[in-house]
C-alpha cells in the first residue's frame, strides 16, 4: 500500500519550509541593491557588481551542498540564522570594516542556501516511490507545485516584508524573518518521523572519474563487435534504489571504459579505475550531454541578474504612488515576476498539461527541453521589451531635464 496518505501532508511541510526560505532569500535579493546604494552609499556600478557576485555565489553553492548531501549527509539541510543590520535612526558613515562584516554575513546566507536548497528539493522528491504508479504520477507534478510554492514565498518576501521594512524599519523585517526561519526549522523537525530517508550513496563524482580514467587508459583497444560484450553488473547485484541504464551509441570513446580486457584476472576486473560498468559510462554521457544546456543557460542568467539590480534601481525613478498614503516599494517590482509564475504554473499544470498530453502523449505535456527552449525565447522577448522601455525612459528624463534647464 502506498504511504502517500500518511506522508503527503509532510511533503507539503517540506514545501512550506522551502517557501519560508524563499521569503528570506528573495527579500535579501530584492532589497540588496537598495541597501548598498542608500545605506552603504555605494555607486550603482559597484552595488550592481556586489549583488551579482553574491547571486553568483548563492547560485553555485548548491553544487557543493548537493554533492555533500548526496554523498554523505543524506539530504539533511543545514540552516543559517538570519541577520540583523543597524537599526538606529541615524547611522554613521560606513567604514571598510562595516562592509567586510556585512558581506561576510551575506555570504553566510549563500553557504546556508548551498546546503538547504538542493537537499530539501531532492529530499522532497525522495518521498515518492517510483515503483508505485500513483506516487510516480504525483511526482511528475511535484516540481511544478514546488516552484509554485517558491514563487509564493518570493511574492511574500518582495511585498509584505519589504513593505514592513520601508514603513516600520529594517529591524522589524529582520525579526519577522528570524521568526519565519525558526518556525521553518520547527515544522521541518516535526515531520521527521514520517519522512523516507535515502541512504548516502557515496560521491557521485568518483564514478565519473573512474569512467574518464579507464577510457583514457584503454584508448587503443578496439571496440567489441556487440554492445553485450561490454561490462555490466547483473540486476541481482545492483544496489537497491538504483537503475541500470541501456547502452547508447553516442560518445563511443567513453565505451572503452567498459571493455573487458582478455588478460584481466577476476581481481583486476573489480578495479573501478580500470573497468567501469555500462551504467557508469551512460551516466558520464548524460553529464557530457548536459554541457550544451548549461552553456545556453548562461545568457539566461545574465537576463535574470538584471531583475535584482538595474530593474529595481530603475523603479526608484518611477511614480509608484497608488494613493496619497500608499507608495509601492521599489523592490516590490520583483512581485510582477512572482505573480506571473504563480498564475502560469497553475494554468500549465491544471489546464495545459492535460490538453497537451492528449496531443503529444507525453505525461509532462511537452518535453523538458522544449520547456527550456520556450523559456529562452520569452527571456529574449523580455530583454527586447526592457531595452525599448529603458530607451523611452531615458528620452523622457532627458526631455524633462532640458525643459528644467530652459526655464
150 contacts: CB under 8 Å, gap ≥ 6:
18, 19, 22
* Same domain for 99 and 147: yes
Residue 155 has pLDDT above 50, yes or no: yes
Residue 293 has pLDDT above 80, yes or no: yes
Contact between residue 147 and residue 341 where contact means Cβ atoms under 8 Å apart? yes
* Same domain for 232 and 126: no
| 285 — pLDDT class (breaks 50, 70, 90) | very high
Contact between residue 150 and residue 142 where contact means Cβ atoms under 8 Å apart? no
Q: What is the mean pLDDT of residues 96-101?
A: 71
Q: What is the domain extent for residue 250?
A: 206-282
* Same domain for 20 and 130: yes
DSSP state of 204: S
* Same domain for 230 and 167: no
* Same domain for 149 and 102: yes
Residue 305 has pLDDT above 60, yes or no: yes
pLDDT digits (tens, 9 = 90+) for 23-75: 455 545 556 666 777 666 777 677 777 776 666 666 666 666 555 555 555 44
- Nearest residue to 342 via CA among 160, 151, 182, 167: 151
Q: What is the mean pLDDT of residues 228-249?
A: 76
| Least confident residue range of 1-10, 301-310, 358-367 | 1-10
| Least confident residue range of 71-85, 255-269, 300-314, 326-340 | 71-85
Residue 181 has pLDDT above 50, yes or no: yes
Start-to-end C-alpha separation, the chain = 81
* Same domain for 190 and 83: yes
Q: What CATH number does the domain containing 153 carry?
A: 1.20.1250.20
In a domain, 353, yes or no: no
SS3 call for 321: strand
Give the model's pLDDT for residue 68: 58
* Same domain for 155 and 215: no
Dist. CA 226–CA 120, nearest whole Å: 42
Dist. CA 205–CA 284, nearest whole Å: 10
Give the model's pLDDT for residue 73: 53
pLDDT digits (tens, 9 = 90+) for 376-398: 888 888 889 888 988 888 888 77
Cell numbers at residue 310, please?
Answer: 538595474
* Same domain for 236 and 91: no
Residues in the chain: 407
Cell numbers at residue 131, please?
Answer: 515503483
Q: Residue 229 CB: number of other CB atoms within 10 A? A: 11
Biggest alpha carbon distance in the chain? 94
Compute CA 102 distance to the chain's CA centroid, rounded to the nearest angstrom. 24
In a domain, 150, yes or no: yes
Q: What is the mean pLDDT of residues 115-123?
A: 70
* Same domain for 267 and 145: no
Convert 245-291 into a string of H (helix), E (strand) and C (coil). CCCCCCCHHHHHHHCCCCCCCHHHHCCCCCCCCHHHHHHHHHHHHHH
Q: If residue 81 lies in a helix (H) or strand (E), which one and from where to where?
A: none
pLDDT digits (tens, 9 = 90+) for 130-143: 666 777 777 767 77
Give the model's pLDDT for residue 159: 77
Residue where a domain stops, chosen among 256, 282, 308: 282
DSSP 1-50: --SHHHHHHHHHHHHHHHHHHHHHHHHHHHHHHHIIIIIS---HHHHHHH
- Nearest residue to 48 via CA among 39, 61, 63, 37: 37
Q: What is the mean pLDDT of residues 341-345?
A: 79
**Residue 243 exposed, middle or buried by CB count within 10 Å (0-12, 13-18, 19+):** exposed
Name the pTM for this structure: 0.60
- Nearest residue to 4 via CA among 108, 131, 168: 131
* Same domain for 255 and 122: no
Mean pLDDT estimate for the chain = 73
Residue where a domain stops, chosen among 201, 233, 251: 201
* Same domain for 229 and 84: no
CA 207 vs CA 59, 122, 229, 266, 314: distances in Å: 25, 20, 20, 20, 48
Percent of the chain predicted with pLDDT > 70: 68
Domain count, the chain: 2
* Same domain for 225 and 123: no
Give the model's pLDDT for residue 262: 63
Q: What is the mean pLDDT of residues 309-325?
A: 77
Residue where a domain stops, chosen among 247, 282, 317: 282
Contact between residue 320 and residue 330 where contact means Cβ atoms under 8 Å apart? yes
Dist. CA 315–CA 331, nearest whole Å: 8
Dist. CA 101–CA 85, nearest whole Å: 10
Amino acid at each position: 500500500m502506498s504511504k502517500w496518505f500518511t506522508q503527503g501532508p509532510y511533503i507539503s511541510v517540506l514545501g512550506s519550509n522551502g517557501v519560508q526560505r524563499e521569503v528570506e532569500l528573495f527579500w535579501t535579493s530584492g532589497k540588496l541593491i537598495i541597501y548598498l546604494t542608500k545605506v552603504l552609499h555605494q555607486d550603482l556600478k559597484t552595488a550592481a557588481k556586489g549583488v551579482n557576485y553574491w547571486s553568483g555565489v548563492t547560485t553555485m553553492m548548491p553544487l557543493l551542498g548537493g554533492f555533500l548531501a548526496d554523498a554523505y549527509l543524506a539530504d539533511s539541510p543545514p540552516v543559517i540564522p538570519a541577520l540583523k543590520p543597524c537599526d538606529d535612526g541615524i547611522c554613521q558613515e560606513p567604514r571598510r570594516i562595516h562592509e567586510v562584516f556585512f558581506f561576510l554575513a551575506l555570504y553566510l546566507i549563500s553557504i546556508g542556501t548551498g546546503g538547504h536548497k538542493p537537499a530539501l528539493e531532492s529530499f522532497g522528491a525522495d518521498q515518492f516511490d517510483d515503483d508505485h504508479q500513483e506516487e510516480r504520477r504525483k511526482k511528475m507534478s511535484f516540481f511544478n507545485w514546488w516552484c509554485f510554492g517558491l514563487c509564493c514565498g518570493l511574492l511574500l518576501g518582495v511585498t509584505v516584508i519589504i513593505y514592513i521594512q520601508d514603513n516600520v524599519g529594517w529591524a522589524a523585517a529582520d525579526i519577522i524573518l528570524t521568526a519565519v526561519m525558526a518556525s521553518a526549522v520547527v515544522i521541518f523537525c516535526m515531520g521527521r518521523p514520517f519522512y523516507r530517508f535515502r541512504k548516502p550513496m557515496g560521491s557521485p563524482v568518483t564514478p565519473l572519474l573512474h569512467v574518464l580514467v579507464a577510457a583514457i587508459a584503454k584508448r587503443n583497444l578496439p571496440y567489441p563487435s556487440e554492445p553485450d560484450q561490454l561490462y555490466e553488473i547483473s540486476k541481482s547485484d545492483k544496489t537497491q534504489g538504483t537503475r541500470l541504464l541501456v547502452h547508447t551509441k553516442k560518445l563511443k570513446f567513453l565505451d572503452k571504459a567498459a571493455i573487458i580486457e582478455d588478460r584481466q584476472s577476476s581481481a583486476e576486473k573489480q578495479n573501478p579505475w580500470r573497468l567501469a560498468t555500462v551504467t557508469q559510462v551512460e551516466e558520464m554521457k548524460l553529464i557530457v550531454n548536459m554541457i550544451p544546456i548549461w552553456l545556453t543557460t548562461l545568457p539566461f542568467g545574465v537576463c535574470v541578474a538584471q531583475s535584482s539590480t538595474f530593474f529595481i534601481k530603475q523603479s526608484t525613478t518611477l511614480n509608484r504612488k497608488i494613493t496619497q498614503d500608499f507608495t509601492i516599494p521599489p523592490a516590490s517590482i520583483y512581485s510582477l515576476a512572482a505573480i506571473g509564475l504563480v498564475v502560469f504554473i497553475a494554468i500549465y499544470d491544471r489546464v495545459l498539461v492535460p490538453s497537451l498530453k492528449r496531443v503529444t502523449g507525453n505525461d509532462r505535456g511537452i518535453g523538458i527541453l522544449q520547456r527550456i527552449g520556450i523559456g529562452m525565447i520569452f527571456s529574449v522577448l523580455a530583454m527586447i521589451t526592457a531595452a525599448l522601455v529603458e530607451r523611452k525612459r531615458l528620452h523622457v528624463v532627458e526631455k524633462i531635464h532640458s525643459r528644467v534647464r530652459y526655464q
